[in-house]
């Protein structure tokens, strides 16, 4: 599984519609609208790098309202939930 974070600059007058169209693309697991340097952040989880090449320029880049994308490929995932569950032995603190 390949995870990528795609930073998306979008036309401001169509951010909700653009975000929904991106969210509807196979391989896109989440889309966030945000404040800051970019308008949308999409998280992709696909089977291969080749699939990324299909989805990002082939689908996301062609969504109306998308002006530009920057892609970051994740090497490893870290999560406090994962760490906590690794040490969970089933004892409740009630």
* pLDDT tens profile 2-38: 999 999 999 999 999 999 999 999 999 999 999 999 9
Cβ count near 19 (within 10 Å): 21
Domain residues for the domain of 39 are: 2-77
Q: How many domains does the chain have?
A: 1
94 CB-near residues (< 8 Å, 6+ apart): none
Query: Which token pair is 44?
Result: 């992709």
Which residues on adjacent β-strands are paired with residue 4?
44, 73
Query: Which token pair is 72?
Result: 């970051």
In a domain? residue 56: yes
The residue that leads in pLDDT, 80 or 49, is 49
Note the pTM of the prediction, 2 decimals. 0.82
List the CATH number of the domain containing 57: 3.30.70.920
In a domain? residue 93: no
In a domain? residue 35: yes
Closest among 6, 5, 13, 7 to 65, alpha carbons compared = 13
């Amino acid at each position: 599984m390949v995870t990528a974070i795609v930073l998306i600059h979008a036309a401001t007058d169509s951010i909700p519609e653009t975000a929904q169209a991106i969210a509807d693309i196979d391989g896109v697991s989440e889309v966030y609208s945000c404040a800051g340097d970019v308008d949308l952040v999409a998280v992709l989880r696909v089977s291969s790098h080749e699939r990324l090449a299909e989805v990002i320029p082939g689908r996301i880049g062609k969504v109306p309202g998308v002006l530009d994308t920057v892609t970051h490929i994740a090497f490893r995932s870290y999560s406090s939930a994962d760490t906590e569950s690794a040490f969970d032995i089933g004892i409740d603190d009630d």
